[in-house]
Amino acid sequence: MGKSLLIVESPTKVETLKKIIGKDFVVKASVGHIKDLPKKKLGVDVENNFNPEYITIRGKGKILNALKTAAKKADNIYLAPDPDREGEAIAHHICNEVSKITKGKIYRVMFNEITKKAVTEAIKHPTELNANKVNAQQARRILDRLVGYKISPILWKKVQRGLSAGRVQSVALRMICDREEEIKNFKSEEYWTITIDLEGSKEPEFQAKLFKVDGKKAEIGNEEQAQAIVKAVEKGEFVLEDIVKKERKRNPSAPFITSTLQQEASRKLNFSPKKTMMLAQRLYEGIALGKEGTVGLISYMRTDSTRLSDEAVGDIRRFIEDKYGKEYVPKAPNVYKSKKTAQEAHEAIRPTNIMLEPKAIKEYLEKDLYNLYELIWARTLSCQMVPAVLDTTQFDVKTDKYLFRANGSVIKFDGFMKVYVEDTDDEGAGMKSTEKILPDIKKGEVLMMKKVLPEQHFTQPPPRFTEAMLVKALEEKGIGRPSTYAAIISTIKDRDYIRNEDKRVVPTELGHLVSGLLVDNFPDIMTEEFTAQMEDQLDQIEEGKIEWVDTLKSFYGPFEKDLVEAEAKMKDIKSQVEETDEVCEKCNSPMIIKWGRFGKFMACSGYPECKNTKEIGGDNGESGKKVSEKVDDTCDKCGAQLVMKMGRFGKFLACSEYPECKFTKPISLGIKCPEPDCKGNISPRRTKKGRTFYGCSEYPNCKFTSWDKPVDEACPKCNNAYMVTKWKKNEGESIVCPGCGFKKSSDEAA
């Protein structure tokens, strides 16, 4: 018998699979898709049932020829791209090409993990191509092509060339812009809390917060009301009116699916969704582990199912019993609910071998790969452990008509928390072994009031999205699917529609403009509801419940009408100019304000004869105010005076002799570098991906950096040279020491 041919997507898998399946197979990689719609035209015959015109992707000709050559010699051909819609489409296109030149049988095989058992089982039990999956992927591709290639030319005509609109990305951008408007329009309201320090017959002292007044929830709107309560309670007698003790259980989190992995990696490891998926792909495809060779460390990472195989659960339960003891293993395996749309044929993201502890293979993994593997390993292990048990105590302390409440808890049994605790979006959820322990005193005891602490607060606007929060919102609203979350965010970031600022996602001026135009002119499709409904229809195509052509027809009719109206009614930003009192220094023509890629700028009205341009000033883009104002500093290169300018990422300093001298530098925070013997100052900087960080002006001689904004204040606890600002939901901004963790409250910070 001749050899069989196994075709996968990624070349990284080839060596791993060769060692698993042996000499009877030739393993080749398609390196992703080999066919796609043409880039230079629509490639969809709208009049003929949306018939797509697929062509070989540029640069893939040699790969396709190599696959055909190998297919001619093979007795059997196994198509093994990834087990999702994209993988099915890749397998379909390869099948169409090789079926013309081979006499061998063509099979579809799918494995959820690259291990010897999973791969050999998949090859022993091959399946056929799933036409419904192929149609679902094709419908999504055509939908995205219709939206992108029909709307983008209108944006080119009305705003500027090079802009683009995406069916799902534009809705994600709208969510970000809507949140920014919500923050901008938010009206903060004052409120007060009153806390008392109390002492009983036994230690420790404890704090209680005003909970009710006259049996109703305490609401204190201003200082006058707060001070009236302070005066009333200062003279009162405090009695411990009630004690409520409960045993509370805290359950472990479900194993990772794509969205939760991206969220948790962002919170715990500071990874972008794109970076998380790139690293997860490498862990899935295989890592060289010394003498063991290349091993696939995790199961397939694009999934929305929380299911674990019976075999995996059995291995995990045995490992927990051996390492931690029987008391950490539940009587029956923990089972977690998946979303209705989840594909239960898939598994959750888990280690392929739970016995491979992260520390045992640390030497073979880069730092980021190790951290991500450790995160997946710990989450998977904890999901099959017993709940944590906490003893909670509630004290109700009363004086006159005022009821104060104190809550305390202590971990009675750590359970799953011995291994892993999930973070939240705005603060760590890790729990200390003790938390607000209350004294062992009896009901009815009279307590001594030591201090009354009235505190002023202001309601906070909803926070800007982090990338993790945005992924969570997309998933909750049914926008996109596991394979698309990272691509959605990276696409709108690459288009300069959003940027990262202090770990939060902020729309750019261009993003605001494009989003507003799309929402105004395509109100039917630029909504969360429509996008979610379309995702649901794609799922139904995959399930064989509806036809893909019918879905496209129902979409395209209303969309075509919107296109005609948008062509006529969309605001023509290109033609809009604002006159100014400025005169061009080169030709004396009036200067006008126009729109460019990085916002508004001033240009000579004599264009194209005169191409003089300059920045305009003010964050609100008011005409006539120059950003290029002189500052008290000189150029490090030529000694000329520096001026302040506005760029795509905000203000910066530049040499006034530009373009002869192109020296630039960021604007300093006015804080000296905390590194000893360094004479530099701290300035905000940006990574290549647009994320803000803070670094020393003496770089590369000094490499001090901080993700959090430094404050020119030494820590009163450990004398660290500086502190940093942090923001938390419902707390606002606080000042924290990066050395010892000492924190000032938001009021102290103010």
Cα separation, 646 vs 599, in Å, equals 10
Residues across the chain: 750
- H and E: helices and strands count for the chain: 17, 35
**Which H helix or E strand runs over 499?**
strand 498-501
Give the SS3 label for residue 196: strand
- Whether 300 is a known active-site residue: answer yes
> CA neighbours within 13 Å on the CB side: how many for 213?
13
CA angle 19, 14, 353 (to 5 degrees): 60
Q: Which neighbouring-strand residues pair with 507?
A: 498
* Residue 238 dihedral angles phi and psi, to the nearest 5°: -100, 125
Other beta carbons within 10 Å of 409: 18
Q: 499 and 649 in contact (C-beta within 8 Å)?
A: yes
Cα separation, 466 vs 704, in Å, equals 25
Give the SS3 label for residue 161: coil
Bond from prior residue into 204 cis (ω within 30 degrees of 0): yes
Other beta carbons within 10 Å of 628: 15
Cα separation, 565 vs 634, in Å, equals 54
What string of DSSP letters covers 114-156? -SHHHHHHHHHS-B---HHHHHHHHHHHHHHHHHHHHHHHHHH
Q: Which of 402, 15, 29 is nearest to 209 (CA)?
A: 402
* Residue 116 dihedral angles phi and psi, to the nearest 5°: -60, -45
Q: Which of 94, 160, 119 is nearest to 285 (CA)?
A: 119
Q: 726 and 708 in contact (C-beta within 8 Å)?
A: yes
Tell how far CA 367 is from the center of its chain. Answer: 20
Give the SS3 label for residue 212: strand
Bond from prior residue into 700 cis (ω within 30 degrees of 0): yes
Cα separation, 80 vs 258, in Å, equals 21
> CA neighbours within 13 Å on the CB side: how many for 613?
13
Give the SS3 label for residue 684: strand
Who contacts 627 (Cβ-Cβ below 8 Å, separation ≥6)?
615, 616, 617, 618, 644, 645, 646, 651
Catalytic member of 78, 107, 284, 300: 300
C-alpha to C-alpha distances, 178 to 29, 172, 469, 477, 507, nearest whole angstrom: 43, 10, 15, 15, 10
Q: 695 and 669 in contact (C-beta within 8 Å)?
A: no
Tokens of 668: 């300093």
Q: 704 and 675 in contact (C-beta within 8 Å)?
A: yes
Cα separation, 638 vs 622, in Å, equals 32
> CA neighbours within 13 Å on the CB side: how many for 206?
27
**Which H helix or E strand runs over 445?**
none
Tokens of 246: 């409960």
Enter the DSSP assignment of 432.
-
Q: Which of 657, 112, 537, 32 is nearest to 347 (CA)?
A: 112
Characterize 640-657 residue by residue with b for buried, 16 or more Cβ atoms within 10 angstroms of its Cβ, and e for exposed.
Answer: eebbbbbeebebbbbbbb
Catalytic residues: 300
